[in-house]
Every structure is written in structure tokens, then in C-alpha cells.
Structure 1
Amino acid sequence: MEFGFSLPGRGPLAGAETILKLATKAESLRFSSLFVTDHVVLPASMARSTYPYSTTGQLPGGAAQDYLEPLVTMGWLARVTSRIRLGTSVLVVPYRNPLLVAKMLATIDRLSGGRVILGAGVGWLREEFEALGAPPFEARGAVTDEYLRLMRAAWTTDPVTFEGRYYSVRAVHALPKPAQRRGVPIWIGGHTDAAVRRAATLGDAWHPIALRPPGLLFPDEYAKRAKELGAWAQQAGRDPKSIELTVRVPMEVRPKNAKPPAGERPLFQGTAAEVVADIRAYQAAGVTHFVFDPTVPELKAALTNMDRFAHDVRGSVEKPGRSHPASRTGRRPVRAR
């Protein structure tokens, strides 16, 4: 069982001092992973797009906020950490040249000693696609599939030849290769049919966001989708057990004497005992790696939340003192060759 955190790449906490404190705290507490999110530009008006993780359809906090570039941030994190894995949750694949992204991720993987994860998504913001001159919004799923295949080829073959509908390249050296000998692991975001099929055919892990209305993905629904993923993986000639099951959720461990909020308690937001029960419910559905979004907006509270989880929750769901193993994909961080 592995646990990680997403870092605040957007808004008032998106700065070097804050990220450094959160990253070093996570590493000192033996968390497994840190993740950064992705947008390149945000439109002043989202008249034609709906944010998929809120009931209002609007981006929380508004668009006019600092938003750190994720791959640059990962390179910086590789320098200030030594063990914890570093990933995107998720990188919008159609926004960037796939060979350049493959090279950037391979470089970070080499410099970090094999600690990189590519969380990959298709994107949802039509206006951002248009502002970046990206491939057509309607083709984003097919483009993502093709770009991911090209990236994997760039990481595992030399020279690289690839013939696709959206990108082709012939006999080029794409170097360096990642430190991870099978390439950077690809975690597929989303929980639509298309996303789950993509995870089944192309992914090393499935990495949906849950418990953000209207896309709640409660444990029973997660288990149902995971079963479908397994069936699609078998149809594609893959062993379902080779695909790690992960989930990203908001999380806050509250003190025992905290006054419960009005209404129904959101999962993963409660006392240590309640959060333990929530983890076990998803564990029963197959999840082996949790990524937590802090729900608290202040740095001090976010650090306290990490401490509470490490000291009051984790020991009940994983053996104390256990060193974090490689994921079920068999990918273990290795030294750069």
C-alpha cells in the first residue's frame, strides 16, 4: 500500500518555499510519491467548457492565478528530494510535442535516479487547446493514444521510427533513455469508458480522480470499473495484474475532538479511524496507491495533515517501518545508467 500527495502548483501556495517544505516533509515521513498538475494557459472566460470536478462547472479560485509548469517543477523537485517518486496528475498529452515530452521526462528520470511517473490525460478545456494551437479538441483521445505509443517507442527503441496519423518520425536517436529500463510508467487518468479502455491497453496504472462531484467514483463503482478494466486488458492480450490500480482523492485527517461538519461526511475527510475505514473500502476494490489532495488552504495546516496521516492513519493500513516497494508494475527506481 502506497500513499502520495499532490502539490499546490496553482494559486497562492504555488511557490518555491511552500513546495520545498511540503516535498521535504513528505519525503521525511516516507510517503511514496508527489504529483503536480497541468495547465499551460487558462482562458478568462470558459463559455464553451465545463470543469469536470465541481458541481458548478467552474474552476475553483478562478483562472487568473499563478500556475507552475509541471515538467519544470518536477525537474526542480528531483534536485531537492532523493527518494520519493515524482509524477504528473495529469499531464494533458495533446498540448506538447510528444518527442520533446519524452525527452524531458527521460532526462528527469535519469537525473532523479529513476523516480518519474507520467500521469496522462486527454484534457477537457477546449479554449486551452485552441490557444495552444494543439490538435483538434474532438481528436484529443486518438491523439493521446498515438502520442503515448510514440513516447514509449522513444524510451525503449533506438533509433526511433514511428508512423502515425498525427505524428510520424523516421530513424532518429531519442536520447537519453530513462533510467527505468522499461521506460517511464504511464498512469492513465479519467474514469470514462474511453479512459478505462486506454488504461487497459496502454497504461501501467489506472489513475482516476474520485470524490469530486459530480464524478464521485465511490468504492463500489471503482470496483466495477476495475473489473471492466481487467476484462478489456485480457481482450488486449495483457495481464490485468500488470496494471496498478490507483486513485486521487481529497483528504483531511481531523482531530478526534473536532466538531463534525453539517451533513454527510465526505469520504477521506474525518477522524483517523474514519479515514482508515475509507482507505480499506478502496483497498478492497483493488487500490494499491492513493494520491491525496489536501483540502486545507494554508501551508501549516497542510503540513499538519501530512503528520496526522503518517502517525495516526498509515500504521493501521500498512505495516509500520515498511519500506515502500515498487508498484505492481514491477518498476523499481534504479540508478541512472
Structure 2
Amino acid sequence: MQFGFNAPTAGPLAETGQLTRLVVEGEALGYDYATFSDHVVIPTDIHAIYPYSSSGEFPAGARAERHEQLIEVAYVAAKTQRLRLVLSVMVVPHRPAVLTAKMLSTIDVLSGGRLVVGIGAGWMKEEFEAIGAPDFAARGKVTDEYLKAFVELWTKEQPKFAGDHVRFDNIVLAPKPVQKPYPPIWVGGESGPALRRTATLGDAWYPIGTNPAFPLDSLARFKAGVAKLRALTEKAGRKADAVGLALRCTAYGESIPATAGDGERRLFSGKNADIAADIRALEEMGVSHLDVGFAGSTVDAMLAEMQRFKKDVLALV
């Protein structure tokens, strides 16, 4: 299993020197990848429900100054050598399809093939409206079309596409991505549409366990989600196990509730040995990537927690 950490796109730790130190030293600690979140602007009046909190409110800390995701990823690529770069996740309808495909291909080429395209359809209607993105109500169809267009542009010498939201012909997109056939597409989200998108278009499923509407907070619940995904993948005409599994852990340890919503033990709760046992169980299920939300208001604190996690938890796996 490979392990990742969050590279902040917002707040004090996203300052140039802090960010650089975090990714360089995180790489030196042996972590395999860094993750990067995506918002272009933050509206001042948000009525949309944030999917990953019980209150539905967008976290106050996330309203801080924020870098553009893809530009930050390109910057970090230049500062690191081995670290993989995971979009966590890129809101697909936020950027025009052809331009985005070109930007992603460029990042993959310049990084030496280290990009992972984590994607989502988006949840904040007000942000869609502010940046002139396609109609929020059509975001699922737009996302699917754009993903198909990306693949066409990345893999065909004479790409062409005729959809409702993107059309092109008689163009050349080069250079193509270093990774073949293209950078892995990890599909975020836990809902039925997200699972269907994963089954038909994804290389991996990349959920967060804390969505109250679709909780994956126990091993039993996660297993049920994977079983549903496998059935949908087979229904889509692919082998049941064609889609890989990646997972984001937002919190862990004795500070989080010990019991999940289904009455089972909550994933990543308890002592170091309990967390290590969860990781082993997930790996046996086929989870190949796990990124962890390490706490810390300073780079020193965050790096210390990353080091402690490797020494006290991963050493037991």
C-alpha cells in the first residue's frame, strides 16, 4: 500500500516556503504522494450543503487565501523528484475540457509521469455560477463528457469529439502524457452517480468515509460500498475488479469516536495497533492507496505527526 499526505492549497501552510518544505520533507520521510484540493473562488454567501460534515457547513478555515490547484501541482512537481501528485479532487466542470486536458498532459510530462487525476463533479452551486462554469444541474453529464474528451485527446493522434458540452475536430494535442495510456483517473464521491462514474470511467474509486449521506466509517460499510462498485463495474462490461481502490482518512486515533454509525468499530479509531489492523484489513480488500489528514498548525507539527505515524502505526502494518 502507498501512503499520502495533504499539501495545503489554502491557509498559512500554503505559503511558498512552508509548502515547499512540507512536500520536500514529506518526500524525504518516504511518503508516496501528496494531495491537492480544488476551489477557484470561495463565494461569501454559500447555501449549498457541504457533503463531508454533519452540519453541512463549509469549514471556516477553508475560506482562507487559496492557490489554483493545477498551478500549485506544477510548482510542487518542480520542487520534488519522486512524490506523486494527486488531485484531490479536481472539479471537472470548473475548467474547459480541451484546455484542462492540455494542462494535465503538460503536468504529467514535466513531472516525469507523476500525476494522478482525482476527479469530482462538484458540490458548490455558488462557485459554479461565480466562475461561469456549465449549468450546475448538468454537472454529472458535463463531468462524464469531459472525462471522455480527456481520454480522446490523450490517446488519439487525430482526436475528435462531438458531445452536448464539448466538441472538437481537426486538432493536435501534443505532447501526450508520459503515463500510458494516460494518467490514472481516481473518481471521488460516494453517491450512486459517483459509483456509476467510477465503474464506467474510473481507474480507481477514491471516497472519503465521512459523508453523512453515504457513510463509509466502518469496515462493514466500506466492504458493502466496494461490493456495490464491483457489481456496477461488471454491469458496465468491465471485469469486476478492474477498478482499483484508494481511500482518504480525514482523522484517526483515540480523539475520534470509537463507534461508527452502524454500531461497528469506527475505521481508524483507537490505538496505534487498531489503526494498523484497519490498514491491513483494507489492504487485503484491495486498497492500494491511503492518504491521511495529518493535524498541525505549523509545518514542524505536521511533519512531526507524519513521522510519528510512520514510526508508531505503519511499522505495525
Taking structure 2 as the reference length, the TM-score comes to 0.92
What is aligned with 1:105?
104
Q: Distance in 1 between matches of 2:118 and 2:256?
A: 35
What is aligned with 2:272?
272
What is aligned with 1:164?
163
What is aligned with 1:42?
42
Gaps of at least 5 residues in structure 2 are 260-265
Paired AA for residue 278 in structure 1: D
What is aligned with 1:137?
136
The Cα of 1:116 is off from its aligned counterpart by 0.3
Q: Distance in 1 between matches of 2:297 and 2:282?
A: 26
The Cα of 1:35 is off from its aligned counterpart by 0.9
Paired AA for residue 303 in structure 2: L
What is aligned with 1:197?
196
- Secondary structure, counterpart of 1:4 in structure 2: strand
- Secondary structure, counterpart of 1:291 in structure 2: strand
What is aligned with 1:92?
91
- Secondary structure, counterpart of 2:290 in structure 1: strand
The alignment status of 1:286 with 2:286, answered yes or no, reads: yes
Q: Distance in 1 between matches of 2:191 and 2:295?
A: 25
The Cα of 1:25 is off from its aligned counterpart by 1.9
Per-residue displacement from partner, 1:247-290 (whole Å, max 9, x unpaired)? 1112456xxxxxx5496476435542232123234334432210
Deviates more, 1:261-270 or 1:167-176: 261-270
Would the aligned equivalents of 2:191 and 2:214 in 1 still touch at CA under 8 Å? Answer: no
Q: 1:150 to 1:264 in 2, by over 3 A?
A: same
Paired AA for residue 168 in structure 1: R
Q: Distance in 1 between matches of 2:189 and 2:113?
A: 25
Q: Distance in 2 between matches of 1:102 and 1:263?
A: 41
The Cα of 1:141 is off from its aligned counterpart by 0.5
Q: Distance in 2 between matches of 1:282 and 1:243?
A: 15
**Correspondences of 1:207-218 after superposition (within 5 Å):** 207-211=206-210, 213=212, 215-217=214-216, 218=218
What is aligned with 2:299?
299
What is aligned with 2:314?
314
Aligned identity (percent) is: 41
The alignment status of 1:120 with 2:119, answered yes or no, reads: yes
**Correspondences of 1:17-96 after superposition (within 5 Å):** 17-47=17-47, 49-61=48-60, 64-96=63-95
Q: Distance in 1 between matches of 2:255 and 2:89?
A: 30
Q: 1:149 to 1:263 in 2, by over 3 A?
A: closer
What is aligned with 1:7?
7
Per-residue displacement from partner, 1:162-209 (whole Å, max 9, x unpaired)? 111111101210111000120111000001011011111000110011
- Secondary structure, counterpart of 1:87 in structure 2: strand
Per-residue displacement from partner, 1:81-126 (whole Å, max 9, x unpaired)? 1111101000000010111111111111111110100000000000
Q: 1:37 to 1:263 in 2, by over 3 A?
A: closer
Q: Distance in 1 between matches of 2:106 and 2:42?
A: 28
Would the aligned equivalents of 2:257 and 2:269 in 1 still touch at CA under 8 Å? Answer: no
Paired AA for residue 268 in structure 1: F
Q: CA RMSD in A?
A: 1.9
Paired AA for residue 132 in structure 1: I
Q: Distance in 2 between matches of 1:269 and 1:296?
A: 19
- Secondary structure, counterpart of 2:12 in structure 1: coil
Q: Distance in 1 between matches of 2:270 and 2:313?
A: 11
What is aligned with 1:325?
none
What is aligned with 2:228?
228
Q: 1:315 to 1:261 in 2, by over 3 A?
A: closer
- Secondary structure, counterpart of 2:11 in structure 1: coil
Would the aligned equivalents of 1:223 and 1:286 in 2 still touch at CA under 8 Å? Answer: no
Q: Distance in 2 between matches of 1:44 and 1:63?
A: 12
- Secondary structure, counterpart of 1:290 in structure 2: strand
Q: 1:194 to 1:262 in 2, by over 3 A?
A: closer
- Secondary structure, counterpart of 1:242 in structure 2: coil
What is aligned with 2:244?
244
